[in-house]
Amino acid sequence: MALQTPTSHEQEWREDLRKVGFVRRLLAGRRWYGTDWWLVAISAVMVLGFITLALFPSVFAPYSPDEQAGPRFLAPGASPDLPVLVSLATSGITELADLAVPTGEPRPSVGVVRGVPTAQALNDRAQELNQELNGTGMELRPRIARFDSLDELLRAVDDGTVVAAVVQSTEFEQLAGDFPTVGEGMSIAGGVSSEGGFILGTNQIGQDVFSRLIWGTRIALLIGFSASIIALVVGVPLGLLAGFTGGMLDRILSVIMDSLYAFPGLILAISITAVLGPSVLNVIVAIAVLYIPTYYRIVRGQTLSVKEELYIEAARSIGARSSEILRKYIYPNVIPSVAIIFSVNVADAILTGAGLSFLGLGLPPDTADWGIDLARGQGFIQNAWWLITFPGFAIMLVVLAFTMMGEGLMEIFNPKLRQR
């Protein structure tokens, strides 16, 4: 039997791949890699999900992140305090438009509680609807009757003194049990479709926490990916160069990189952003600087060990140029570990970025960012737990996804570790 050359192996593999298909092959991998395959698969799905969120936040977020979408400090799942229409359950009146009557007929009277802004809301909305009805022969101009308390008002609805009433929904819900005949209709605010619309609540200026979370994915991933890519683009060539050429250059670079590596990264990033001023780009640059030594050290170490291999010597002896050796023999050996570091590195960079913005350094203060939201929410820890709970949870999930992917990839790429 003839010895198989590497090229025929490769051909066989390609043939195989063509027959089986790439996707099926990927799926078949779980038989060999077991748990690690699942780890990578699950985290890859999570990562893809986060990337989708980051690319199209407006599709998933019900509100814009800066929009003052509802009342302040609304707890998760609680319905906002809206002016709603209540009437006798038997009357069939559920929305304001039901109160329209043909022009000239007696105008219906609607009750409100004195001193509560519901009267204003009712007036505004009724005028709007009335404009729309213009020319149809109908009109909507309710008479507003004022009562001293909600209890009194509801009793008036109950005995028919007023046709309907406009009340604040939360106050009404507290008394609703006492008036079984009175039913809750729709919000008169019309446009605001926020019936239970704030699943994670609202913050101190009435922004939707959920929407800010989704938009925050964008800035987190932007910082994580860009910083890691910059660090990679700078660190990998430097590591290759230092490891390959050795000598004085290697020694100087290594001392600088080791000093940087030993220094607390966040503190370095803090000082760099303090100098550069607050902007997304500056945060990215500051974090990228931190992670250059990580790539440098790994690549340099790998290059040093690969350089001593016999096949490099062989290549050199048949007259291969240095650039060729670097490109063809060393580079492919270094790449898998770089891929693993990259994944873990993105996770790290996201954490560092969040830390910076939590400290109030780096990002402009109005950015929809998880770190900024946490820092703002800390002041309201006594009564608004949701403000400090969800953004941190989001950070954890994203970081977990990238870390798990790195872990799984490490096991798959580096089977030697599987012995452990």
Partner 1 sequence: MSPLSLIFLIIGGPAALGLVYIFVRGSAGLRRYIVTRIALTLPMVFILASLVFFVLRVIPGDPVSSALGPKGSPETVARLSEQLGLGDPLLVQYGRFLGSVVTLDFGNSLTGAHRPIVDEMSERFPATLELVIPAAILSLAIGIFGGAFAASRRRRTADYSLRLYSVIIYSLPIFWLGLMLQLLFGVKLGWLPIAGRVDAVIGTTLHHITNIYSIDAILTGNWPALRSVLAHLVLPTLTLGLILSGVFVRLTRINVIETLQQDYVEAARARGIRERVVIYNHALKNAMIPVITLIGLQVAILLAGAVLTETVFSWPGMGRYLVERISSRDYTAVQSVITMFALFVALISLAVDILYSLVDPRVRY
Q: Which residues bind partner 1 (CB under 8 A)?
A: 255-256, 258-260, 262-267, 270-272, 274-275, 277, 347, 351, 354-355, 358-361, 371, 374, 378, 381-382, 385, 388-389, 391-393, 395-396, 399-400, 403-404, 407, 420
Judged by CB, which is closer to partner 1: 325, or 374?
374
User: What angle do helix axes 385-413 and 370-378 make, rounded to 10 degrees?
Assistant: 140
CA distances from 194 to 60, 122, 199, 266, 278 (A): 16, 18, 10, 40, 35
CB of residue 395 to partner 1, shortest distance in Å: 5
CB of residue 343 to partner 1, shortest distance in Å: 13
Q: Are 227 and 287 in contact (CB under 8 A)?
A: yes
C-alpha to C-alpha distance for 334 and 298, rounded to whole angstroms: 9
DSSP 130-165: HHHHTTTTEE--PEEEEESSHHHHHHHHHTTSSSEE
**Residue 349: closest CA among 295, 288, 277:** 288
Judged by CB, which is closer to partner 1: 74, or 401?
401
Judged by CB, which is closer to partner 1: 29, or 392?
392
CA distances from 243 to 65, 73, 232, 306, 315 (A): 47, 57, 16, 10, 18
Judged by CB, which is closer to partner 1: 126, or 361?
361
CB of residue 107 to partner 1, shortest distance in Å: 52
Which phi and psi (to 5°) does residue 139 adopt?
Answer: -145, 155
- Which residues are CB-neighbours of 241 under 8 A, at least 6 positions away? 249, 253
CB of residue 207 to partner 1, shortest distance in Å: 19
Q: Are 76 and 386 in contact (CB under 8 A)?
A: yes
Judged by CB, which is closer to partner 1: 70, or 355?
355
CB of residue 255 to partner 1, shortest distance in Å: 6
**Residue 295: other Cβ atoms inside 10 A:** 26
Judged by CB, which is closer to partner 1: 157, or 290?
290
**Residue 239: closest CA among 292, 175, 193:** 292
CB of residue 285 to partner 1, shortest distance in Å: 12
Which DSSP helix (H) or strand (E) runs through 14? helix 6-20
**Residue 396: closest CA among 356, 347, 357:** 347
Judged by CB, which is closer to partner 1: 176, or 359?
359
- Length of the chain measured in residues: 420
DSSP 395: H
CB of residue 279 to partner 1, shortest distance in Å: 13
Judged by CB, which is closer to partner 1: 339, or 359?
359
CB of residue 268 to partner 1, shortest distance in Å: 8
Buried b (16+ CB within 10 A) or exposed e, 53-72: bbeebeeebbbbbeeebbee
Any idea of the CA torsion for 284, 289, 292, 294, to the nearest 10 degrees? -90
Judged by CB, which is closer to partner 1: 267, or 314?
267
CB of residue 352 to partner 1, shortest distance in Å: 8
Judged by CB, which is closer to partner 1: 135, or 264?
264
**What's the chain's Rg over C-alpha atoms?**
32
CB of residue 370 to partner 1, shortest distance in Å: 8
